[in-house]
Amino acid sequence: MTTSGEPPIVAAGLTKRYDDLVAVDNLDLTLRRGEIFGLLGQNGAGKTTTILMLLGLTEPSGGTARVMGLDPARDALQVKRQVGYLPDSVGFYGDLTGRQNLRYTARLNGLRGAEAEARIDEALGQVGLSDRGDGRADTYSRGMLQRLGIADALIKDPEILILDEPTAAIDPIGVVEILQLLRDLVRERGVTVLLSSHLLTQVQSVCDRVGIFAAGRLIGLGTVAELAARFGNDTGQVEVTFEGEQAAGAAKKLRPFLEGIPQVEQVDPATSAGQPWTLHVRPASAGRQVREAVLAGAASDKLGLTAIRSAEPSLDDIYRAALREAGLHRDASDAAEPVGAVA
């Protein structure tokens, strides 16, 4: 257990070198209790190396880490007993059922008998696998295996969950289910979640704070709003939605109307009926005036406005801006996949 008032994870100057390669460079990071923290970056950015040092699975070259009040470099076994970990490539015994795999994990953590079975039932229920727990693991989909992996991490009743790419290669429905599961775990159990990912939209949708990691360095840290204020060039977004038929019939009228509103720098039309138009507003503080102008104009011209709201800036744009500021934009543009799905 953490000592009173001590954050669950603290890194100070944490560094890892492999010969001439600096995988993690002087990392300072503090996680708050009960938050979902997203560590965002391309593969090779240093995310997994950071996690391995926090778990005591590799020793730092410099700096210190404290996890649950413990030093992972000296107290690795104690840290592992108290932290649930889901690696990026989860593996189970395929010829055993999900329940049998969890029973094996329970035994490794000193749990047996009725206590172990109660903990297993609870974990399977929390991840939505109660009805599949007695099926063989080699019949599970990738999403089910990821959920079983989270159940496996929950068996020891941890205060911290560390998840390395938990939604990689999962279908969209499975992604939604896993992200909702993480929200539920934080709300119901008060766990702290460290989520490593390269998928920007997923990080933005679930994380309380985000750390942007690149070339072994943490180049941005904060809420999406805070990162937008730092890297977003003081630009906000307002989304407006119009009735499908009205929007289609009045498209020629809508765009000049929206572009003519003061402080609107750019208008992105709806991609299909019922989808919102996005207004890029500068300064970001002008969002309220823009919304009022849209409401007034839509009412007077009967444009069929159905919804209007301020929207968070795209984490994709923030990520690119952070890389540019750090002089690393070329690395992102040379990636094999778009930055929004960095591999």
Per-residue pLDDT of the chain (343 residues; tens, 9 = 90+): 444 578 999 999 999 999 999 999 999 999 999 999 999 998 889 999 999 999 999 999 999 999 999 999 999 999 988 899 999 888 899 999 999 999 999 999 889 999 999 999 999 998 889 999 999 999 998 888 989 999 999 998 899 999 998 887 778 888 888 888 899 889 988 899 999 998 888 788 899 999 999 999 999 999 988 888 888 777 888 999 988 645 555 567 788 999 999 999 999 988 877 789 999 998 888 889 999 999 998 888 777 889 999 887 778 888 988 998 888 865 443 333 333 333 2
Task: Tell whether 57 is covered by a domain.
Answer: yes
Could you tell me if 223 and 299 lie in one domain?
no
CA 157 from chain centre, in angstroms, equals 22
Could you tell me if 213 and 267 lie in one domain?
no
Could you tell me if 156 and 247 lie in one domain?
no
Task: Tell whether 307 is covered by a domain.
Answer: yes
Count how many domains the chain has. 2
Could you tell me if 204 and 239 lie in one domain?
no
Q: What is the CATH number of the domain that holds 244?
A: 3.30.70.920
Could you tell me if 165 and 252 lie in one domain?
no
Burial (CB count <10 Å: 0-12, 13-18, 19+), residue 123? buried
**Alpha carbons 33 and 24: distance in angstroms, whole number:** 24
pLDDT tens column, 308-326: 998 877 788 889 889 988 8
Q: What is the CATH number of the domain that holds 30?
A: 3.40.50.300
pLDDT of residue 49: 95
Q: What is the 3-state secondary structure (H, E, C) of 261-319?
A: CCCEEEEECCCCCCCCEEEEECCHHHHHHHHHHHHHHHHHHCCCEEEEEEECCCHHHHH
Could you tell me if 27 and 131 lie in one domain?
yes
Q: Which domain holds residue 92?
A: 9-229
Q: Residues in the chain, how many?
A: 343
User: Quick one: tokens of 77?
Assistant: 């076994």
pLDDT of residue 334: 38
**Alpha carbons 123 and 109: distance in angstroms, whole number:** 15
Task: Tell whether 70 is covered by a domain.
Answer: yes
Yes or no: say if 66 and 237 are a contact pair by the CB < 8 Å rule: no
